[in-house]
Amino acid sequence: MTQLVHLSPVDYSILVLYVAFVIGIGFALKRQMKTSADFFLSGRNIPAWVTGLAFLSANLGALELVGMAASGAKYGIATCHFYWVGAIPAMIFLAVFMMPFYYGSKARSVPEYLKLRFDERTRAFNSVSFAVMTIFASGISLNALAKLLHSLLGWDYNISLWVCSVIVLLYVLKGGLTSAIYTEVLQFFMIVLGFAPVVYLGLKDAGGWNAVKEKLSGVAAQPAVYNLSDSATKTFNPDAWTSAWKPLLAGPSANPMGIDLFAMVFGLGFVLSFGYWCTNFLVVQRAMAAKDMKAARNTPLVAAVPKMLFPLLVILPGMIALALSATAGKDYAFPKAVIESSKMPAAIAAVRQAVAGNASVEETTKALASATGNSFNSAKVEELLKAAKAGAPISDEQAAIAFQDAVVNDYDGVILSLVKRYCPTGLLGLALTALLASFMSGMAGNVTAFNTVWTYDLYQAYIAPDKSDEHYASMGRAITVVGILLSIGAAYFASMWTNAMDIIQLVFGFVNAPLFATFLLGMFWSRTTGTGAFVGLVSGTAASALFHACSISQGNLPGVKGAYLAKLVVLPSDMAQNFWLASFAFIVCFVLTVVVSLATNRTKSDEDLKGLVYSLTPKQQVDQAWFARPGFIGIVLLIACAILNWLFW
Amino acid sequence: MGLDIRYPIGMMFTLIGLILTGTGLFNGGNVSIAGINIGVNINLVWGLFLLVFGAFMWVAAIRSKGQ
């Protein structure tokens, strides 16, 4: 159990102020919520800078914040590829090529676009899988929040969970999508202004970027010392943590992510990122709420600017933490789970027995894990075994220190460890409020996307069509309550099974991976038929499940991690497995959609597809100056992004 | 748009800025809760920054209303 943090009245006052403002915004907007369109679509009257920041904030859940810092420590600057290769080009593509069809078609949701372009089957498939995903996403985030408040502040898990849910419920219920979007903007500033001083203090403490770089080259020379490798003899080139491309070009064994160039550029950069940013209704909904076509197309472009710089805020802290842990005299230990002292005798007994029975490293690691309930780094266990076999007498205290040293890193704890290290009372309140804000923006984003898809794409489409607008508006409010309750259920589910998280993430991958192929063909190839799209999408999803069932990454055992049907493909890392799975699913969906479309007849005429397909939509007269057009801004942003890649080459 | 979001953002950060600046002035902000001397009164510095940011949001909202 790590030490609890005590909040002072000053910290509490910041926290309470924030909660009062988000709820206040909900109530202030209540007067405007008259029709269902006000509630679900914000009445389409929000300016681009607001929807742009909300677009970003809805994605900036705490899992992103905590997870990116974790990856920053684990993989170094290569984590930036999620931004500079993945998100930015995808956001520009959305603005320049796709937004005209989403916004111009007057579809109220992404699944509804699929219905207009194809038919009910694709829409039903997409809306059901999307609805389930949003509930689990908000549940996972809620569980993580309640756990964090419990372990950090000692608050009761159940109370934290319910109180946070009720706050989100209040402002979403009162102000609908508008209030979710407005609070997301407030949360965006909260997150940035709450974490920026922590990152600044961390960088200052570590001695600046050059000192971080130097320390990380030392880490790269002996990653096993920092529990970053399972092999005691593994070494990386000095720039493995601090260069974005060079380690990648040298192959999977030369970068800590264990990944090859194709999986990175095609799997992550193209399939996964475009799939997420261009087709996920959670983010696209924000752009669809903009006041006019110009604002809708500018939404992702506005978001791209801060997104490009976010690695400073979310990835750099992980690298700082790793560098600090490698700096003598800083007295900073990388966060790890602490072995309970009551379990120590059992651990010592387990190792003694392993030495006596001449057990392998793998068996000893397992025995230690079952004796203590912690996970251990096998390179460290190997060293332990060697030392024990050499016969040096080891005291119990020495053994306890050695065991603790061998516990795997708690990467997710990086952000909190830095907050605790640098924040005085006052700033602490601000940083924790920022963390709370990120959880809430993620949850509210999911809930608003869920209630729209449920009401328009499932309830109105299949359960109760042709009702009055008031009926759908009140359904929207009711389903918001249901959505929050389901999220709470999902949170308890995630808290009960340690594997729940892995399984949920896995299913996200299955659903997301092929989706972009369907949209790409639908928007840019008028020959794509409804049957083609449906068959392609379902087979793509099935293909990703099948790929997972037949592949595994090195060092994992068949089961949840894959290969439960057969072990046909072995990949160098989990990340590589994810990216290859996505690439495979995309290609299957793409090829089958093309083949089946060619074999079936079109059911929609060119006239039907006007405004839905690129080639059949007349070019609009633009009244914007050349430098204000999305195409031009997109190119400027791409160049800026290329420069960033080059700077950290 | 019925509500200019810059008002609540401006108001909230002005208030938080006041709280942090006050804490910095009267209780300091050089020592973190972990007992580490961070070498700068971060409460004061960041509180003042948030005050400026909050005021900036107010001014932006008021100016756009005047138009």
The DSSP line for A521-566 is HHHH-TT--HHHHHHHHHHHHHHHHHHHHHEEETTPPTBTTB-SS-
Among candidates A18, A193, A197 on the partner chain, residue whose Cβ is nearest the Cβ of B53: A193
By the CB < 8 Å criterion, does A610 face chain B? no
Per-residue pLDDT tens over the stretch A426-438: 999 999 999 999 8
Closest by Cα among A583, A589, A615, A613 to A262: A583
Which carries the bigger pLDDT value, residue A390 or residue A588?
A: A588
Mean pLDDT of A398-424: 86
pLDDT at A317: 94
Burial class of residue A162, CB neighbours in 10 A (0-12, 13-18, 19+): middle
The band of A1, judged by pLDDT with boundaries at 50, 70 and 90, is very low
Please report residues of B whose CB lies closer than 8 A to that of A18.
12
Q: Which of B12, B20, B36 sits opposite A426 (nearest CB)?
A: B20
pLDDT digits (tens, 9 = 90+) for A136-168: 888 888 888 888 888 888 889 999 999 999 999
End-to-end CA distance of chain A: 41
Q: What is the pLDDT of residues A336-367, one digit of tens each?
A: 888 888 888 888 888 888 878 877 888 888 88
Q: What is the pLDDT of residues A519-571, one digit of tens each?
A: 999 999 989 999 999 999 999 999 998 998 888 887 777 777 777 787 788 88
Contacts of A423 in chain B (CB under 8 A): 32-33, 42
What pLDDT shows up at residue A636? 92
In angstroms, the Cα distances linking A8 to A157, A160, A194, B40 are 21, 18, 17, 20
What letter represents residue A601's amino acid?
A: N
The alpha-carbon radius of gyration of chain A (Å, integer) is 25
- Quickly state the pLDDT bin for A2 (edges 50, 70, 90): low
CB pairs under 8 A between A and B: 98
Helix/strand/coil for A497: coil
In chain B, whose CA is at the least distance from the CA of A425?
B33
> What pLDDT does residue B1 have?
47
Query: Which DSSP letter does residue A338 get?
Result: P
Predicted TM-score (pTM) of this structure? 0.90
Report the distance separating Cα B29 and Cα A431, nearest Å. Answer: 14
| Chain B interface includes A15 (CB < 8 A) | no
Residues 6+ apart with CB under 8 A from A282: A58, A59, A134, A445, A446, A449
Sign of the Cα torsion A571, A574, A576, A579 reads: positive
Is A26 or B48 the better-scoring residue by pLDDT?
B48
- Whether residue A177 has pLDDT greater than 80: yes
- Secondary structure, 3-state, A405-473: HHECECHHHHHHHHHHHHCCCCHHHHHHHHHHHHHHHHHHHHHHHHHHHHHHHHHHHHHCCCCCHHHHH
CA distance A42 to A384: 61
**Per-residue model confidence (pLDDT) at position A26:** 87
Query: What does the buried/exposed string (b/e) look like for A6-18 if buried means 16 or more CB atoms within 10 Å of the residue's CB?
Result: ebeebbebbbebb
Q: Does A142 or A390 have the greater pLDDT score?
A: A142
Chain B residues touching A197 at Cβ < 8 A: 42, 46
A14 CB neighbours in chain B (<8 A) are 16, 19
- Percentage of the residues of chain A whose pLDDT score is greater than 70: 98
Nearest CA-CA distance, residue B16 and chain A, Å: 6
Residues A445-458: what's their mean pLDDT? 90
Mean pLDDT calculated for residue range A252-267? 87
CB contact under 8 A, B15 and A17: yes
pLDDT per residue as tens digits for the range A104-123:
888 889 999 999 999 899 99
Residues of B in contact with A426 (CB under 8 A): 19-20, 23-24, 27, 29, 43, 47
Contacts of A332 in chain B (CB under 8 A): none
Question: Which pLDDT score, from 0 to 100, does residue A430 have?
Answer: 94
Supply angle C-alpha A552, A557, A563, rounded to 5: 40
Please tell me which residue, A621 or A242, carries the higher pLDDT value: A242
The reply to whether residue A24 touches residue B15, judged by beta carbons under 8 angstroms, is no
B52–chain A Cβ distance below 8 A for any pair: no
Confirm if A526 and A616 have CB atoms less than 8 A apart: yes
Interface contact A22, partner B, CB < 8 A? no
Of the pLDDT bands very low, low, confident and very high (cuts 50, 70, 90), residue A622 is: low
Number of CB atoms found within 10 A of residue B40's CB = 15
Instruction: Compare all CA atoms of chain A with the CA of B43 and give the residue at the minimum distance.
Output: A427
How sure is the predictor about A321, in pLDDT bands with cuts at 50, 70 and 90? very high
Mean pLDDT, residues A197-221 taken together: 91
Q: Output the pLDDT for position A232.
A: 78
More confident residue, A29 or A537: A537
Average pLDDT, integer, range B2-12 = 87
B62 touches chain A (CB under 8 A): no
Closest CA to A534 of A600, A584, A610, A487: A600
Distance of CA A197 to the CA centre of its chain: 23
Residue among A575, A640, A584 nearest A248 (CA): A575
What b/e sequence results for A253-289 when a residue is b if at least 16 CB atoms lie within 10 Å of its CB, and e otherwise?
eebbbbbbeebbbbbbbbbbbbbbbbbbbbbbbbbbb
Chain A residues whose CB is inside 8 A of the B15 CB are 17
For the ranges A1-10, A162-171, A233-242, which has the lowest average pLDDT?
A1-10
End-to-end CA distance of chain B: 14
Task: Indicate if the pLDDT at residue A32 is higher than 80.
Answer: no
Chain A positions touching B56 (Cβ under 8 A) are: none
Which tens digits make up the pLDDT trace of A84-97?
A: 998 999 999 999 99
The answer to whether B17 faces chain A, any CB pair under 8 Å, is no
For an interface test with B, give the residue of A45, A177, A189 to mutate (most B CBs within 10 A): A189
Chain A stretch 278-317, residues whose beta carbon is closer than 8 A to a beta carbon of chain B: 291
Check A423 against B32: CB less than 8 A apart.
Answer: yes
pLDDT in the model for residue A431: 93
Task: Give the chain B residue whose CA is nearest to the CA of A193.
Answer: B50
Question: CB B9 to CB A189 under 8 A?
Answer: yes
Q: Is the model's pLDDT at A197 over the cut of 70?
A: yes
pLDDT number for residue A529: 92
**Token digits for B42?**
């971060």
Whether A424 sits inside 8 A of B12 (CB atoms) is no
**What is the overall mean pLDDT for chain A?**
87
Task: Give the bridge partners for A552, in sequence order.
Answer: A570
Say whether pLDDT at B67 is over 60.
no
Question: Contact A267/A582 with Cβ under 8 angstroms?
Answer: yes
- Say what percent of chain A tops pLDDT 90: 33
From A258's Cα to the closest Cα of chain B, the distance in A is 36
Q: Do A430 and B34 touch (CB under 8 A)?
A: no
Nearest one of A129, A104, A128, A130 to A117, comparing CA atoms:
A104
Structure tokens given for A496:
């009960």
Q: Does A17 touch chain B (CB under 8 A)?
A: yes
HSE of A629, CA atoms in CB hemisphere, 13 A: 12
Please enumerate, as own/partner, the contacts of A642-646 that have beta carbons within 8 Å and a separation of 24 or more. Answer: A644/A80, A644/A84, A644/A308, A645/A84, A645/A85, A645/A244, A645/A245
Nearest-Cα distance to chain A for B26, in Å, is 11
